[in-house]
């Protein structure tokens, strides 16, 4: 278990802080701050439609200080649960509908803006379970969606406005002269553990790639019959969120550099149209 946690922190998700023991608050001495999450625990079962509750205890952290909570599945952040005052309890946290059912979830908490910068309290819960809604609830949800056709018709035809529960923001529109193009991608700024995927028309063309300063080249083929949407999907937050990638797009005769950002709630995208 400790090895899994070390691997988790190797992703750089939690600000390169010292590694803590599984199921134990970090405390180097009685003067240091610490956190212990009491709920969820190994017996907890969250149902997506019912939302989530968090309960915790702290030592040497005032009530007006804030804590940040993340939901992990295996080694990846799947939802940022929120930043809360140190009131020891919070409920009615909305869970993403896209979360998969499983018993491989854990919550991680971090003390924000600690008085002692060399002692940042953090805690990882044991693994617990998340379940999908019952078939009855799922059916009602589908009916509700079908009853709001105006929302679907308000989007630009052929372009998605969300993916996996995240909003897609279009930041540029490109026109290329060839349907066969190359993209080069690399970390924009300092390398901080960003792990990303690149999607073209909803299909992953680059999957869970760890960004570095070195440019990585990929070849893709566009659909000439429509505007193609290409967006960045973040699998973690790195140590300096949001995840930011530099992309060079080349059609063989010209190229353009763009910068896309993504966090756990939204993705930046561009449209690419092949010139007739």
Of 114 and 13, the structure prediction assigns the larger pLDDT to 114
Query: Could you tell me if 59 and 19 are in contact, meaning their C-beta atoms sit under 8 angstroms apart?
Result: no
Parse the chain into domains and list their residue ranges.
2-134, 158-274
pLDDT value at 1 more than 50? no
CA distances from 268 to 102, 114, 144, 180 (A): 29, 32, 28, 22
Q: What average pLDDT does the segment 94-112 reach?
A: 87
Residues 6+ apart with CB under 8 A from 77: 13, 70, 71, 235, 236, 237, 264
pLDDT 10s digits, 192-204: 778 889 999 999 9
pLDDT 10s digits, 88-98: 999 999 888 87
- Average pLDDT of the chain is 78
CA distances from 3 to 8, 19, 20, 126 (A): 9, 11, 11, 14
- Which pLDDT value is given to residue 117? 67
b/e per residue, 49-79, with b = 16+ CB within 10 A? beebebebebebbeeebebbbbbbbebebbb
> What kind of architecture, by CATH, is found in domain 158-274?
Sandwich (2.60)
pLDDT value at 169 more than 80? yes
Per-residue confidence band for 145, with pLDDT thresholds at 50, 70 and 90: very low
Per-residue confidence band for 158, with pLDDT thresholds at 50, 70 and 90: low
Query: Could you tell me if 122 and 35 are in contact, meaning their C-beta atoms sit under 8 angstroms apart?
Result: yes
Respond yes or no on whether the N-terminal peptide bond of residue 119 is cis (omega within 30° of 0).
no
Q: Does domain 2-134 have CATH number 1.10.287.130?
A: no
The overall pTM is greater than 0.85: no
- Which pLDDT value is given to residue 49? 85
pLDDT 10s digits, 116-134: 767 788 899 999 999 986 5
Query: Could you tell me if 233 and 262 are in contact, meaning their C-beta atoms sit under 8 angstroms apart?
Result: yes
* Count of CA atoms in the C-beta half-sphere (13 A) of 49: 10
Question: Which of these ranges, 52-66, 87-101, 156-170, has the smallest mean pLDDT?
Answer: 156-170
pLDDT value at 139 more than 70? no
Of 147 and 79, the structure prediction assigns the larger pLDDT to 79
């Amino acid at each position: 278990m400790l090895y899994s946690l070390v691997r988790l922190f190797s992703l750089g998700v939690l600000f390169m802080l010292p590694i803590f023991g599984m199921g134990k608050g970090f405390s180097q001495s009685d003067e240091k701050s610490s956190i212990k999450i009491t709920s969820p625990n190994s017996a907890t079962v969250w149902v997506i439609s019912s939302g989530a509750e968090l309960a915790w205890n702290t030592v040497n952290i005032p009530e007006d200080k804030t804590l940040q909570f993340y939901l992990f599945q295996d080694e990846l952040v799947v939802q940022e649960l929120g930043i809360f005052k140190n009131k020891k309890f919070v409920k009615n946290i909305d869970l993403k509908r896209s979360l998969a059912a499983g018993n491989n979830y854990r919550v991680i908490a971090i003390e924000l803006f600690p008085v002692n910068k060399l002692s940042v309290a953090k805690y990882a819960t044991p693994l617990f379970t998340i379940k999908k809604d019952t078939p009855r609830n799922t059916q009602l949800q589908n009916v509700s969606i079908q009853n709001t056709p105006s929302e679907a018709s308000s989007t630009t035809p052929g372009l998605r406005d969300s993916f996996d529960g995240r909003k897609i923001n279009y930041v540029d529109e490109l026109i290329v002269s060839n349907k066969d193009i190359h993209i080069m991608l690399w970390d924009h700024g300092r390398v901080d553990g960003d792990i990303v995927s690149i999607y073209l028309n909803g299909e992953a063309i680059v999957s869970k790639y760890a960004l570095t300063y070195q440019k990585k080249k990929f070849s893709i083929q566009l659909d000439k019959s429509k505007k193609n949407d290409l967006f960045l999907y973040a699998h973690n937050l790195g140590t300096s969120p949001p995840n930011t990638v530099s992309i060079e797009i080349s059609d063989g005769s010209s190229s353009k550099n763009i910068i896309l950002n993504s966090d756990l709630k939204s993705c930046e995208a561009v449209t690419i149209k092949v010139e007739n």
